[in-house]
Chain A
Amino acid sequence: MLSKRIIACLDVDAGRVVKGVQFVNLRDAGDPAELARAHAEAGADEIVMLDITATSDERKTLIETVRRTARQIFVPFTVGGGIRTMEDAAHIFDCGADKVSINSAAIANPPLIEQIAGRFGSQAVVVAIDAKREDAAVNDAEVYIAGGRKRAGKKAVTWAREAEDRGAGEILLTSMDRDGTGSGFDCELTAAVAGAVSIPVIASGGAGSVQHFLEVFLKGKADAALAASIFHFDPSDSGPHAVGELKQALAGSGIPVRWPC
Protein backbone atom coordinates (compact mmCIF):
# COMPACT_ATOMS: atom_id res chain seq x y z
CA MET A 1 0.00 0.00 0.00
CA LEU A 2 1.19 3.50 -0.77
CA SER A 3 2.37 4.94 2.53
CA LYS A 4 1.79 8.37 3.98
CA ARG A 5 5.05 10.28 3.99
CA ILE A 6 6.66 12.04 6.92
CA ILE A 7 8.87 14.80 5.63
CA ALA A 8 11.51 16.54 7.68
CA CYS A 9 12.03 20.16 6.73
CA LEU A 10 15.21 22.08 7.32
CA ASP A 11 14.84 25.84 7.20
CA VAL A 12 18.28 27.10 6.30
CA ASP A 13 19.72 30.56 6.75
CA ALA A 14 23.32 31.30 5.77
CA GLY A 15 24.25 27.62 5.83
CA ARG A 16 22.71 26.80 9.22
CA VAL A 17 19.40 25.18 10.11
CA VAL A 18 17.13 27.60 11.92
CA LYS A 19 13.54 27.57 12.96
CA GLY A 20 11.33 30.49 13.75
CA VAL A 21 7.85 30.82 15.10
CA GLN A 22 5.73 32.32 12.32
CA PHE A 23 8.80 33.40 10.39
CA VAL A 24 10.51 35.27 13.25
CA ASN A 25 12.65 34.46 16.32
CA LEU A 26 15.13 32.32 14.45
CA ARG A 27 17.07 29.83 16.53
CA ASP A 28 20.13 27.92 15.44
CA ALA A 29 19.49 24.17 15.19
CA GLY A 30 22.60 22.80 13.53
CA ASP A 31 24.38 21.80 10.35
CA PRO A 32 22.00 21.04 7.44
CA ALA A 33 23.87 18.09 5.98
CA GLU A 34 24.32 16.41 9.35
CA LEU A 35 20.71 16.96 10.33
CA ALA A 36 19.39 15.79 6.96
CA ARG A 37 21.34 12.59 7.27
CA ALA A 38 20.25 12.04 10.87
CA HIS A 39 16.60 12.55 9.91
CA ALA A 40 16.87 10.18 6.94
CA GLU A 41 18.51 7.53 9.11
CA ALA A 42 15.84 8.00 11.76
CA GLY A 43 13.13 7.26 9.22
CA ALA A 44 12.17 10.51 7.49
CA ASP A 45 10.71 9.61 4.10
CA GLU A 46 11.96 12.73 2.47
CA ILE A 47 14.03 15.81 3.23
CA VAL A 48 13.01 19.32 2.28
CA MET A 49 15.51 22.14 2.59
CA LEU A 50 14.13 25.66 2.41
CA ASP A 51 16.50 28.57 2.08
CA ILE A 52 14.58 31.14 4.06
CA THR A 53 16.62 34.21 3.27
CA ALA A 54 18.02 33.50 -0.16
CA THR A 55 19.82 36.79 -0.61
CA SER A 56 22.27 36.81 -3.46
CA ASP A 57 25.44 36.56 -1.36
CA GLU A 58 24.00 33.67 0.63
CA ARG A 59 23.15 31.84 -2.58
CA LYS A 60 26.62 30.35 -2.89
CA THR A 61 26.43 29.05 0.66
CA LEU A 62 23.16 27.35 -0.19
CA ILE A 63 24.55 25.71 -3.30
CA GLU A 64 27.45 24.29 -1.30
CA THR A 65 25.07 23.16 1.44
CA VAL A 66 22.82 21.41 -1.09
CA ARG A 67 25.77 19.65 -2.65
CA ARG A 68 27.11 18.51 0.71
CA THR A 69 23.67 17.33 1.86
CA ALA A 70 22.80 15.50 -1.36
CA ARG A 71 25.94 13.40 -1.07
CA GLN A 72 24.79 12.06 2.27
CA ILE A 73 21.16 11.15 1.83
CA PHE A 74 19.46 8.44 -0.19
CA VAL A 75 15.85 9.46 0.18
CA PRO A 76 14.16 12.12 -1.97
CA PHE A 77 15.61 15.59 -1.44
CA THR A 78 13.73 18.80 -2.26
CA VAL A 79 15.23 22.28 -2.23
CA GLY A 80 13.33 25.55 -2.21
CA GLY A 81 13.79 29.24 -1.58
CA GLY A 82 14.92 31.87 -4.02
CA ILE A 83 14.52 29.74 -7.15
CA ARG A 84 13.39 32.28 -9.75
CA THR A 85 14.47 30.94 -13.10
CA MET A 86 15.00 27.76 -15.03
CA GLU A 87 18.77 28.28 -14.59
CA ASP A 88 18.39 28.48 -10.79
CA ALA A 89 16.44 25.22 -10.86
CA ALA A 90 18.94 23.52 -13.17
CA HIS A 91 21.74 24.53 -10.82
CA ILE A 92 19.94 23.01 -7.83
CA PHE A 93 19.35 19.74 -9.74
CA ASP A 94 23.04 19.73 -10.70
CA CYS A 95 23.91 19.81 -7.03
CA GLY A 96 21.96 16.61 -6.46
CA ALA A 97 18.46 17.72 -5.48
CA ASP A 98 15.59 15.58 -6.81
CA LYS A 99 12.92 18.26 -6.71
CA VAL A 100 12.73 22.01 -6.49
CA SER A 101 10.06 23.83 -4.57
CA ILE A 102 8.95 27.09 -6.10
CA ASN A 103 6.69 29.64 -4.48
CA SER A 104 6.92 33.39 -5.20
CA ALA A 105 8.50 32.81 -8.62
CA ALA A 106 5.62 30.55 -9.67
CA ILE A 107 3.16 33.29 -8.77
CA ALA A 108 5.16 35.97 -10.56
CA ASN A 109 5.79 33.78 -13.58
CA PRO A 110 3.43 30.78 -13.75
CA PRO A 111 4.95 29.42 -17.02
CA LEU A 112 8.08 28.68 -14.97
CA ILE A 113 6.19 25.61 -13.68
CA GLU A 114 5.73 24.36 -17.25
CA GLN A 115 9.35 25.13 -18.14
CA ILE A 116 10.87 23.20 -15.25
CA ALA A 117 8.38 20.34 -15.62
CA GLY A 118 9.02 20.21 -19.36
CA ARG A 119 12.73 19.77 -18.90
CA PHE A 120 13.03 17.84 -15.64
CA GLY A 121 9.60 16.21 -15.40
CA SER A 122 6.61 17.02 -13.23
CA GLN A 123 7.93 14.81 -10.45
CA ALA A 124 10.72 17.35 -9.98
CA VAL A 125 8.44 20.36 -9.44
CA VAL A 126 6.82 21.09 -6.10
CA VAL A 127 4.71 24.22 -5.98
CA ALA A 128 4.73 25.63 -2.45
CA ILE A 129 1.69 27.59 -1.37
CA ASP A 130 1.73 29.70 1.79
CA ALA A 131 -1.91 30.24 2.67
CA LYS A 132 -3.55 32.42 5.28
CA ARG A 133 -7.19 31.97 6.22
CA GLU A 134 -7.71 33.84 9.45
CA ASP A 135 -11.47 33.54 9.79
CA ALA A 136 -12.30 33.09 6.13
CA ALA A 137 -13.85 30.00 4.59
CA VAL A 138 -11.34 27.46 3.19
CA ASN A 139 -12.03 28.37 -0.40
CA ASP A 140 -11.16 32.00 0.41
CA ALA A 141 -7.75 31.22 1.92
CA GLU A 142 -5.31 33.73 0.42
CA VAL A 143 -1.93 32.94 -1.06
CA TYR A 144 1.02 34.90 0.32
CA ILE A 145 4.47 35.27 -1.21
CA ALA A 146 7.87 36.70 -0.30
CA GLY A 147 8.17 34.64 2.87
CA GLY A 148 4.64 35.45 3.94
CA ARG A 149 5.04 39.21 3.63
CA LYS A 150 2.92 39.92 0.55
CA ARG A 151 -0.54 38.99 -0.64
CA ALA A 152 -0.44 37.32 -4.03
CA GLY A 153 -4.04 38.10 -4.92
CA LYS A 154 -4.94 34.46 -5.50
CA LYS A 155 -6.97 31.92 -3.58
CA ALA A 156 -5.04 28.86 -2.43
CA VAL A 157 -7.48 26.27 -3.79
CA THR A 158 -7.69 27.85 -7.25
CA TRP A 159 -3.95 28.38 -7.42
CA ALA A 160 -3.29 24.75 -6.49
CA ARG A 161 -5.48 23.64 -9.36
CA GLU A 162 -3.74 25.99 -11.78
CA ALA A 163 -0.33 24.78 -10.61
CA GLU A 164 -1.39 21.19 -11.31
CA ASP A 165 -2.65 22.12 -14.76
CA ARG A 166 0.69 23.75 -15.49
CA GLY A 167 2.60 20.60 -14.60
CA ALA A 168 3.36 20.72 -10.87
CA GLY A 169 4.02 17.25 -9.47
CA GLU A 170 3.13 18.02 -5.86
CA ILE A 171 1.68 20.82 -3.75
CA LEU A 172 3.38 21.84 -0.52
CA LEU A 173 0.65 23.63 1.40
CA THR A 174 1.67 25.67 4.42
CA SER A 175 -0.91 27.13 6.73
CA MET A 176 0.52 30.45 7.84
CA ASP A 177 -2.10 30.62 10.57
CA ARG A 178 -0.73 27.44 12.10
CA ASP A 179 2.95 27.58 11.17
CA GLY A 180 5.18 27.35 14.21
CA THR A 181 2.29 27.24 16.66
CA GLY A 182 2.27 23.50 17.30
CA SER A 183 -1.53 23.67 17.46
CA GLY A 184 -2.15 21.20 14.65
CA PHE A 185 -2.37 21.27 10.87
CA ASP A 186 -5.20 23.09 9.16
CA CYS A 187 -7.04 19.92 8.16
CA GLU A 188 -9.96 21.71 6.61
CA LEU A 189 -7.73 23.71 4.27
CA THR A 190 -5.61 20.66 3.46
CA ALA A 191 -8.70 18.61 2.60
CA ALA A 192 -10.02 21.39 0.37
CA VAL A 193 -6.78 21.53 -1.62
CA ALA A 194 -6.36 17.73 -1.69
CA GLY A 195 -9.90 17.43 -3.02
CA ALA A 196 -9.27 20.00 -5.74
CA VAL A 197 -6.17 18.39 -7.27
CA SER A 198 -5.14 14.87 -8.21
CA ILE A 199 -1.45 15.35 -7.41
CA PRO A 200 -0.10 14.67 -3.90
CA VAL A 201 -0.56 17.35 -1.27
CA ILE A 202 2.00 17.82 1.49
CA ALA A 203 0.52 19.47 4.58
CA SER A 204 2.72 21.84 6.51
CA GLY A 205 2.40 24.22 9.42
CA GLY A 206 1.22 23.47 12.94
CA ALA A 207 2.60 20.00 13.71
CA GLY A 208 2.90 19.56 17.45
CA SER A 209 1.91 16.01 18.31
CA VAL A 210 1.28 12.54 16.92
CA GLN A 211 -2.43 13.29 17.06
CA HIS A 212 -1.95 16.18 14.63
CA PHE A 213 -0.38 13.88 12.05
CA LEU A 214 -3.19 11.35 12.48
CA GLU A 215 -5.74 14.10 11.91
CA VAL A 216 -4.08 15.52 8.83
CA PHE A 217 -3.95 12.10 7.17
CA LEU A 218 -7.48 11.08 8.13
CA LYS A 219 -9.42 14.35 8.05
CA GLY A 220 -7.05 16.46 5.97
CA LYS A 221 -6.61 13.80 3.25
CA ALA A 222 -2.93 14.75 3.07
CA ASP A 223 -0.56 12.46 1.18
CA ALA A 224 2.38 13.63 3.23
CA ALA A 225 2.99 15.81 6.26
CA LEU A 226 5.94 18.04 6.81
CA ALA A 227 7.38 19.35 10.01
CA ALA A 228 10.52 21.07 11.11
CA SER A 229 10.65 22.25 14.67
CA ILE A 230 9.16 19.22 16.37
CA PHE A 231 11.95 17.11 14.94
CA HIS A 232 14.66 19.50 16.06
CA PHE A 233 13.27 20.68 19.36
CA ASP A 234 11.23 17.89 20.87
CA PRO A 235 11.62 18.88 24.54
CA SER A 236 11.41 15.31 25.83
CA ASP A 237 14.16 14.13 23.52
CA SER A 238 15.84 16.68 21.30
CA GLY A 239 17.15 14.04 18.87
CA PRO A 240 15.95 13.46 15.33
CA HIS A 241 14.82 9.92 16.13
CA ALA A 242 11.57 11.61 17.06
CA VAL A 243 10.71 10.84 13.39
CA GLY A 244 10.93 7.15 14.16
CA GLU A 245 8.78 7.46 17.26
CA LEU A 246 6.17 9.36 15.29
CA LYS A 247 6.05 6.71 12.56
CA GLN A 248 5.84 3.92 15.06
CA ALA A 249 2.87 5.61 16.72
CA LEU A 250 1.17 6.24 13.36
CA ALA A 251 1.68 2.63 12.30
CA GLY A 252 0.11 1.57 15.60
CA SER A 253 -2.93 3.68 14.74
CA GLY A 254 -3.39 2.05 11.36
CA ILE A 255 -1.83 4.73 9.15
CA PRO A 256 0.24 3.12 6.38
CA VAL A 257 3.78 4.36 6.94
CA ARG A 258 7.21 3.08 6.00
CA TRP A 259 8.12 1.55 9.32
CA PRO A 260 10.42 -0.06 10.24
CA CYS A 261 12.66 1.51 7.63
Chain B
Amino acid sequence: MIAIVDYGAGNISSVKKALESLAADAEVTADPQVIAAATKLVVPGVGHFSRCASLNRLREPVLEAISAGKPFLGICVGMQWLFQGSTESPETPGAGLFAGECSRFHSVVKSPHVGWNQVELRSASRLLSGIADRTFVYYTHSYRAPVVGETTACTEYGGKFSAAVERDNVFGVQFHPEKSGPAGLRILENFCAL
Protein backbone atom coordinates (compact mmCIF):
# COMPACT_ATOMS: atom_id res chain seq x y z
CA MET B 1 0.00 0.00 0.00
CA ILE B 2 1.19 3.49 -0.90
CA ALA B 3 0.61 5.99 1.89
CA ILE B 4 -0.18 9.48 0.61
CA VAL B 5 0.87 11.59 3.55
CA ASP B 6 -1.81 14.17 4.32
CA TYR B 7 -0.43 17.19 6.17
CA GLY B 8 -3.10 19.67 5.08
CA ALA B 9 -1.30 20.97 2.01
CA GLY B 10 -4.03 20.20 -0.50
CA ASN B 11 -3.77 18.54 -3.89
CA ILE B 12 -4.16 15.16 -2.21
CA SER B 13 -7.14 14.05 -4.26
CA SER B 14 -5.36 14.62 -7.58
CA VAL B 15 -2.44 12.45 -6.56
CA LYS B 16 -4.77 9.75 -5.26
CA LYS B 17 -6.82 9.77 -8.48
CA ALA B 18 -3.71 9.49 -10.61
CA LEU B 19 -2.36 6.55 -8.57
CA GLU B 20 -5.76 4.85 -8.65
CA SER B 21 -5.88 5.20 -12.42
CA LEU B 22 -2.70 3.08 -12.41
CA ALA B 23 -4.49 0.49 -10.27
CA ALA B 24 -2.23 1.27 -7.30
CA ASP B 25 -3.47 0.69 -3.78
CA ALA B 26 -3.14 4.17 -2.25
CA GLU B 27 -4.40 5.53 1.02
CA VAL B 28 -4.49 9.12 2.21
CA THR B 29 -3.33 9.23 5.81
CA ALA B 30 -1.85 11.27 8.61
CA ASP B 31 -1.64 8.26 10.91
CA PRO B 32 1.93 7.28 11.92
CA GLN B 33 0.86 3.62 12.15
CA VAL B 34 -0.50 3.58 8.60
CA ILE B 35 2.70 5.30 7.44
CA ALA B 36 4.73 2.62 9.21
CA ALA B 37 2.68 -0.13 7.58
CA ALA B 38 2.97 1.31 4.06
CA THR B 39 5.34 -0.09 1.47
CA LYS B 40 5.85 3.29 -0.23
CA LEU B 41 5.28 6.92 0.69
CA VAL B 42 4.15 9.88 -1.37
CA VAL B 43 4.32 13.37 0.08
CA PRO B 44 2.40 15.69 -2.22
CA GLY B 45 2.02 19.37 -1.69
CA VAL B 46 1.30 22.74 -3.14
CA GLY B 47 1.36 26.08 -1.47
CA HIS B 48 3.47 27.50 1.29
CA PHE B 49 6.57 25.90 2.82
CA SER B 50 5.26 26.77 6.30
CA ARG B 51 2.83 23.86 5.80
CA CYS B 52 5.84 21.62 6.27
CA ALA B 53 5.55 22.41 9.97
CA SER B 54 2.68 19.92 10.10
CA LEU B 55 4.69 17.51 7.98
CA ASN B 56 7.47 17.79 10.55
CA ARG B 57 5.05 16.37 13.13
CA LEU B 58 5.19 13.16 11.07
CA ARG B 59 8.94 13.48 10.59
CA GLU B 60 9.86 10.44 12.67
CA PRO B 61 7.68 7.82 11.00
CA VAL B 62 8.47 9.27 7.56
CA LEU B 63 12.25 9.30 8.11
CA GLU B 64 12.07 5.81 9.63
CA ALA B 65 10.32 4.54 6.50
CA ILE B 66 13.02 6.14 4.37
CA SER B 67 15.78 4.57 6.50
CA ALA B 68 14.06 1.23 6.10
CA GLY B 69 14.55 1.59 2.35
CA LYS B 70 10.92 2.21 1.40
CA PRO B 71 10.54 4.23 -1.81
CA PHE B 72 9.63 7.85 -1.03
CA LEU B 73 8.33 10.39 -3.54
CA GLY B 74 8.07 14.08 -2.63
CA ILE B 75 6.07 16.25 -5.03
CA CYS B 76 6.45 20.06 -5.26
CA VAL B 77 6.68 21.29 -1.66
CA GLY B 78 7.04 17.61 -0.72
CA MET B 79 10.29 17.60 -2.70
CA GLN B 80 11.42 20.94 -1.28
CA TRP B 81 11.00 19.45 2.19
CA LEU B 82 13.78 16.97 1.35
CA PHE B 83 16.21 19.91 1.33
CA GLN B 84 17.42 21.77 4.39
CA GLY B 85 14.76 24.43 4.28
CA SER B 86 13.30 27.29 2.28
CA THR B 87 13.61 31.04 2.46
CA GLU B 88 9.81 31.02 2.15
CA SER B 89 9.58 29.97 5.79
CA PRO B 90 13.03 30.10 7.43
CA GLU B 91 11.68 28.93 10.79
CA THR B 92 10.46 25.63 9.28
CA PRO B 93 13.22 23.05 8.83
CA GLY B 94 13.23 20.57 5.97
CA ALA B 95 14.31 16.95 6.26
CA GLY B 96 17.85 17.86 5.20
CA LEU B 97 18.35 14.74 3.07
CA PHE B 98 19.66 16.91 0.26
CA ALA B 99 22.00 19.84 0.79
CA GLY B 100 20.91 23.37 0.11
CA GLU B 101 17.98 25.64 0.60
CA CYS B 102 15.00 26.46 -1.61
CA SER B 103 14.62 30.06 -2.67
CA ARG B 104 12.37 32.33 -4.70
CA PHE B 105 12.72 32.87 -8.44
CA HIS B 106 14.72 35.91 -9.43
CA SER B 107 12.55 38.85 -10.36
CA VAL B 108 13.72 38.65 -13.99
CA VAL B 109 11.01 36.05 -14.61
CA LYS B 110 7.32 36.07 -13.78
CA SER B 111 6.60 34.35 -10.52
CA PRO B 112 4.89 31.98 -9.85
CA HIS B 113 6.27 29.72 -12.55
CA VAL B 114 3.01 28.30 -13.86
CA GLY B 115 2.59 26.03 -16.83
CA TRP B 116 4.34 23.39 -18.87
CA ASN B 117 8.10 23.49 -19.02
CA GLN B 118 10.76 21.04 -20.17
CA VAL B 119 12.98 18.73 -18.18
CA GLU B 120 16.64 18.47 -19.14
CA LEU B 121 17.84 15.02 -18.14
CA ARG B 122 21.21 15.00 -16.36
CA SER B 123 21.79 11.47 -15.21
CA ALA B 124 20.26 8.01 -15.20
CA SER B 125 17.13 7.84 -13.12
CA ARG B 126 14.84 5.02 -12.12
CA LEU B 127 11.97 7.45 -11.63
CA LEU B 128 12.35 9.13 -15.02
CA SER B 129 12.89 5.90 -16.92
CA GLY B 130 11.29 6.15 -20.38
CA ILE B 131 10.96 9.93 -20.20
CA ALA B 132 12.56 11.68 -23.16
CA ASP B 133 14.85 14.66 -22.74
CA ARG B 134 12.89 17.94 -23.14
CA THR B 135 9.58 16.39 -22.14
CA PHE B 136 7.05 18.97 -20.92
CA VAL B 137 5.73 18.67 -17.38
CA TYR B 138 3.38 20.87 -15.38
CA TYR B 139 4.68 23.30 -12.77
CA THR B 140 3.10 25.72 -10.36
CA HIS B 141 5.46 27.19 -7.75
CA SER B 142 7.29 30.33 -6.66
CA TYR B 143 10.23 28.71 -4.87
CA ARG B 144 12.63 26.15 -6.24
CA ALA B 145 15.40 23.84 -5.12
CA PRO B 146 19.01 24.29 -6.23
CA VAL B 147 20.74 21.93 -8.62
CA VAL B 148 22.70 19.43 -6.52
CA GLY B 149 24.71 16.27 -7.11
CA GLU B 150 21.55 14.17 -6.86
CA THR B 151 19.66 16.25 -9.44
CA THR B 152 18.57 13.88 -12.21
CA ALA B 153 16.75 16.52 -14.26
CA CYS B 154 16.64 20.27 -14.21
CA THR B 155 14.46 22.95 -15.75
CA GLU B 156 15.40 26.37 -17.03
CA TYR B 157 13.39 29.33 -15.75
CA GLY B 158 15.45 32.36 -14.92
CA GLY B 159 18.31 29.93 -14.30
CA LYS B 160 18.32 26.19 -13.74
CA PHE B 161 16.66 24.50 -10.80
CA SER B 162 16.12 20.90 -9.71
CA ALA B 163 13.18 19.35 -11.56
CA ALA B 164 13.92 15.93 -10.06
CA VAL B 165 16.26 14.55 -7.44
CA GLU B 166 17.03 10.95 -6.64
CA ARG B 167 19.21 9.05 -4.23
CA ASP B 168 18.66 5.37 -3.54
CA ASN B 169 15.02 5.09 -2.44
CA VAL B 170 14.41 8.84 -2.09
CA PHE B 171 12.84 10.68 -5.03
CA GLY B 172 11.55 14.19 -5.45
CA VAL B 173 9.94 16.09 -8.32
CA GLN B 174 9.21 19.80 -8.37
CA PHE B 175 6.59 19.43 -11.10
CA HIS B 176 3.23 17.74 -10.69
CA PRO B 177 3.32 14.29 -12.28
CA GLU B 178 -0.39 13.88 -11.46
CA LYS B 179 -1.09 16.87 -13.73
CA SER B 180 1.52 16.22 -16.42
CA GLY B 181 -0.52 14.08 -18.78
CA PRO B 182 0.87 10.79 -20.12
CA ALA B 183 4.47 11.69 -19.15
CA GLY B 184 3.42 12.30 -15.55
CA LEU B 185 1.49 9.05 -15.36
CA ARG B 186 4.53 7.22 -16.69
CA ILE B 187 6.63 8.68 -13.85
CA LEU B 188 4.08 7.62 -11.26
CA GLU B 189 3.94 4.19 -12.85
CA ASN B 190 7.74 3.95 -12.56
CA PHE B 191 7.42 4.79 -8.88
CA CYS B 192 4.68 2.20 -8.35
CA ALA B 193 6.87 -0.41 -10.05
CA LEU B 194 9.90 0.16 -7.75
Listed in ascending order, the chain A residues whose CB lies under 8 Å from chain B are 1-5, 40, 45, 70-71, 74-76, 93-96, 98, 119-124, 169-170, 198-200, 223-224, 258, 261
Contacts and interface: CB of A to CB of B under 8 A. Distances in A.
Contact of B14 (A96, A121, A169): A96
Contact of A121 (B10, B111, B116, B180): B10
Given A94-B13, A123-B114, 16 more contacts: A70-B14, A70-B17, A71-B17, A76-B138, A96-B14, A98-B14, A120-B10, A120-B47, A121-B10, A121-B46, A123-B112, A124-B10, A169-B114, A199-B114, A200-B110, A261-B181
Nearest to A5: B115
A76 B180 CA distance: 8
Contacts, number: 91
A3 B180 contact: no
B185 A74 contact: yes
Q: Which of A5, A75, A170 has the most CB of B within 10 A?
A: A75
Given A74-B185, A124-B10, A199 B110 contact: yes
Contact of B116 (A3, A119, A123): A3
Contact of B179 (A94, A98, A258): A98
B54 interface: no
Contacts of A95: 13
A42 to B, nearest CB: 11
Contact of B47 (A4, A76, A96, A123): A123
A224 B46 CA distance: 21
* Pairs of residues from A and B, 4 with the lowest C-beta to C-beta distance, nearest first: A121-B47, A258-B136, A123-B140, A258-B116
A40 B81 CA distance: 31
15 contacts: A1-B156, A5-B115, A5-B116, A70-B17, A74-B18, A74-B179, A93-B10, A95-B13, A98-B11, A120-B46, A123-B46, A123-B112, A170-B114, A224-B115, A261-B182
B113 interface: yes
Contacts of A98: 11, 14, 179
Given A98-B179, A198-B110, A3 B115 contact: yes
B122 interface: no
Main secondary structure of the interface of B (DSSP, over half): mixed
A199 B112 contact: yes
A74 B112 contact: no
A200 B111 CA distance: 8
Nearest to A94: B13
B33 interface: no
Contact of B46 (A96, A124, A261): A124
B180 A74 contact: yes
Contacts of A45: 115-116
A74 B187 CA distance: 13
Given A40-B181, A98-B11, A98-B179, A123 B110 contact: no
B132 to A, nearest CB: 10
B50 to A, nearest CB: 11
Contacts of B11: 98
A121 to B, nearest CB: 3
A63 to B, nearest CB: 14
B17 A169 contact: no
A224 B156 CA distance: 19
B117 interface: yes
Interface in B71-126: 110-118
B114 A223 contact: yes
Contacts of B46: 120-121, 123-124
